[in-house]
Amino acid sequence: MTTTSTYGSIAVKLMVLLIAAALLFAPFLFQDVRSVEVAARICIFIVLVASYDLLIGYTGIVSFAHTMFFGFGAYGAAILLKQMGPGWGPVVLGGLAGIALSLVIAVAIGLLSLRVKAIFFAMITLAAASVALVLASQLSHLTGGEDGITYSAPDLFKPATKLLVDADGKVMKIAGVRMNGKIAAYYFVFASSAVLFALMLRLVGSPLGTVLKAIRENEARAEAIGYRVVAYRTFVFCISAVVASLAGTIYAVWLKYTGPETALSFDIMIDILLMVVIGGMGTMWGPVIGATLLVIAQYYLRDLMGVAAEAVSSVPVLPELLNPDRWLFWLGILFILLVYFFPKGIAGTAMEKGVRQ
């Protein structure tokens, strides 16, 4: 948190730049459906985890309701896309509805409980998130219950849409990639995530960002020198809820499906927590690294283990250990090692290393 720059912080920024470049060119670099799926999920989770880091890392607020706000945005768009049919109208309206609901709930939770002790606040968010989850499964005529909702995205994002056509009227290919609606959908996800991330980066570097850190460091003193702590906390809780809600809307448009599993479950909350802890709290670079690593691990560790098990098939015991079905076991070990060697997360720990003279 000091202003002295270290080689570690340069390394972290390079890593982030590399991830950004990989995401920017993902459809061209990795030309299969699954990879682009992974890239889009990384984009969304970077935004979602970064918005959570505003709370936990910058301001020191522990909330378990982050997926609830994500879900509001996702369900807002999903319900309207289902009811009104594909188009930009339902996306915008649904997104706005998600934001509005998130704001109302965030202000209510914030004003009612940000004055009380951190543990009570965390419990209240947990309760609110549980209620949202139950409601989503109960109001099944609206939300599709446990099955969720399947719908169509705006026409622009349909695979049949031709963004660019060549002389013959066929979809133009650039570097072997078809310029169709799928590409448009990916770049919609990428661009909107990039804008949201840039806004958060701007926020944490502003005078307001310094106040948030001051509240995290010493709430009583921040109040004593003249910052109304409750107001700042409620505000950042709202900002973070709105960003999470927008991320949910974007994800809903991308997936063309919204259900408890993709938008509301506590598994997502746990993923967010793991990503922010592994990446590093209190720096915007942490969520980038954490989200990228975890999503890649979730998608590819099984494949990797399959290959590894194959390679050592002649050795006893080893293939058993490396059986792809045991991927969660290895993921767990990976987490323990990461937390052990990077107690402040990858970004947080690395940025302290290699002080420049």
Partner 1 sequence: MTQPSLITRDLTIRFGGHVAVNAVSCAFHPGELTVIVGPNGAGKTTYFNLISGQLSASSGQVIKDGVDLTRMAPSARAHHGIGRAFQLTNLFPALSVLENIRLAVQARAGMGWRMLRPVRHFRVLSEKAEHFLEATRLGARAHQPAALLPHGDQRKLEVALLMAMEPDVYMFDEPTAGMSLDHAPEVLELIAGIKRDTTKTVLLVEHKMEVVRALADRIIVLHNGELLAQGDPAEVMASQLVRDVYLGKSEGVA
Q: Which residues bind partner 1 (CB under 8 A)?
A: 1-4, 202-203, 205-211, 213-214, 217-218, 220-229, 232
* C-alpha–C-alpha distance, residues 283 and 134, integer Å: 34
* C-alpha–C-alpha distance, residues 69 and 99, integer Å: 8
Q: Are 44 and 247 in contact (CB under 8 A)?
A: yes
Smallest distance from the beta carbon of 202 to partner 1, in angstroms? 7
Nearer to partner 1, 176 or 226 (CB): 226
Smallest distance from the beta carbon of 194 to partner 1, in angstroms? 18
Nearer to partner 1, 206 or 313 (CB): 206
Give the contacts of 352 (CB within 8 A, at least 6 positions apart).
Answer: 6, 8, 344
Q: Are 56 and 62 in contact (CB under 8 A)?
A: yes
Half-sphere exposure of 161 (CA within 13 A, CB side): 12
Smallest distance from the beta carbon of 210 to partner 1, in angstroms? 6
Beta carbons within 10 angstroms of residue 173's beta carbon: 12
Smallest distance from the beta carbon of 115 to partner 1, in angstroms? 10
* C-alpha–C-alpha distance, residues 271 and 263, integer Å: 12
Half-sphere exposure of 226 (CA within 13 A, CB side): 0
Structure tokens at 281: 């709290």
Smallest distance from the beta carbon of 206 to partner 1, in angstroms? 4
Nearer to partner 1, 227 or 335 (CB): 227
Nearer to partner 1, 209 or 286 (CB): 209
Smallest distance from the beta carbon of 330 to partner 1, in angstroms? 34
Amino acid type, 111: L
Smallest distance from the beta carbon of 257 to partner 1, in angstroms? 35
Smallest distance from the beta carbon of 197 to partner 1, in angstroms? 15
Nearer to partner 1, 36 or 229 (CB): 229
Nearer to partner 1, 50 or 229 (CB): 229
Beta carbons within 10 angstroms of residue 13's beta carbon: 14
Nearer to partner 1, 232 or 237 (CB): 232
Pairing of strands 177-178, 257-258: unpaired
Smallest distance from the beta carbon of 56 to partner 1, in angstroms? 15
DSSP letters of 128-172?
HHHHHHHHHHH-HHHH-GGG-EE-PPPGGGSTT-BSSB-TTSSBP
Nearer to partner 1, 29 or 208 (CB): 208
Nearer to partner 1, 101 or 204 (CB): 204
* C-alpha–C-alpha distance, residues 66 and 51, integer Å: 9
Structure tokens at 312: 């050592």
Overall residue count recorded for the chain in this entry? 357
Structure tokens at 313: 């098939």
